Amino acid sequence: MAETPSPTPGKIEAAFDWLDERLGITTIWNTVFARMVPETNWLYTLGSASTILAVLQLVTGMLLTIYYVPSPDQAYDSIQFIMNDVAFGWLIRGIHHWGATLMVLVVFLHMLRTFFVGAYKYPRELTWLTGVALLAIVMVLGFSGYLLPWNQRAYWATSVGTSIMGAVPVVGPLLLRIARGGTEIGTLTLARFYGLHVWWMPLALLSIIGVHLYLVIKIGITSPPERDE
Ligand code: HEM
């Protein structure tokens, strides 16, 4: 007996074509994912690894905000609650904690790779400069996040870090007051670091990653240098 063809694939294709005509999905797919790239090696995956880590940090960070309370009275206890009482809280915090360290490492290695193949030269100067901004943002994210658990280590690390800012000639004392929200580390410091960590820096990170990836797609990437035989 002949099989009756299922009507579903046709309908799905028609629905896809309808959307594709309006949204240009095939063009976007071909430009972003099916574009021509030179033959590369594993070191060229570090940029994508940085992108994946950025997404992982954003998602786990958003989950942590469900229970974390950015006030000196409750920050420490809210972290203890996440670790001991919230279902999989220890896992989410663990991923966010180790993901941060891994991200600094991977972004740095990606920078070294691009440096050693001379990818900062014409025409990729802006890809490099947006990369420098990304490295700075990742550092500020790490530094601001370190204070949030509000334990002894967080307090003293921030105390030392902000004192170093204070040692900058001429503008140092002003920088220190801006960072701490006064002369001492307290409620305002935690509020400012939390704001930086969950709003200013993630927004900057996402926007600049967008520009960085646009440039990577528009200009293309370098090919690994070859040995002259
Ligand atoms: C959050 C941080 C970063 C993300 C998500 C990111 C992402 C990427 C991706 C996906 C690529 C293409 C694939 C690859 O070459 O690995 C790339 C290329 C590039 N990145 Fe980054 N990047 C980051 C940080 C940096 C930093 C810190 C620098 C340098 C200071 C940098 C400079 C470059 C350059 C010059 C290229 C072009 C490479 C080439 O043409 O061979 N990036 N980036």
pLDDT for res 225: 86
Distance in Å, CA 38 to ligand 1 centroid: 16
pTM reported for the whole predicted model? 0.93
Ligand 1 centroid–CA 110 distance in Å is 6
Assess whether the C-beta atom of 222 lies below 6 angstroms from ligand 1. Answer: yes
Q: Dig out the tokens for 74 from the structure.
A: 């409750």
Residue 184 CA to ligand 1 center (angstroms) comes to 38
Smallest CA-to-CA distance from 44 within 117, 103, 102, 123 is with: 117
Q: Are 192 and 147 in contact (CB under 8 A)?
A: no
Nearest-CA residue for atom 13 of ligand 1? 47
In whole angstroms, what is the distance from residue 114 CA to residue 25 CA?
30
Using the mean position of ligand 1's atoms as its centre, give its distance from the Cα of residue 200 in Å: 21
Tens of pLDDT along the chain (229 residues) come to 556 666 567 999 999 999 999 999 999 999 999 999 999 999 999 999 999 999 999 999 999 999 999 999 999 999 999 999 999 999 999 999 999 999 999 999 999 999 999 999 999 999 999 999 999 999 999 999 999 999 999 999 999 999 999 999 999 999 999 999 999 999 999 999 999 999 999 999 999 999 999 999 999 999 988 887 6
Per-residue model confidence (pLDDT) at position 6:
61
pLDDT for the residue numbered 73:
97
| Residues 70, 72: Cα–Cα separation, whole Å | 7
> Ligand 1 mean position to 95 CA, how many Å?
23
Cα pseudo-dihedral 34, 47, 206, 28, rounded to 10: 0
Q: Is 71 helix (H, G, I), strand (E, B) or coil?
A: coil
Residue of 50, 104, 219 to mutate, ligand 1, most atoms within 8 A of C-beta:
50
Residue whose token pair is 């309808």 = 18
pLDDT of 80: 98
Start-to-end CA distance of the chain, whole Å, equals 66
Task: Give the residue, by CA position, lying nearest to ligand 1 atom 12.
Answer: 47
pLDDT at 90: 98
Handedness of CA 14, 20, 21, 26 (dihedral sign): negative
In short, whether 82's Cβ falls inside 6 Å of ligand 1 is no
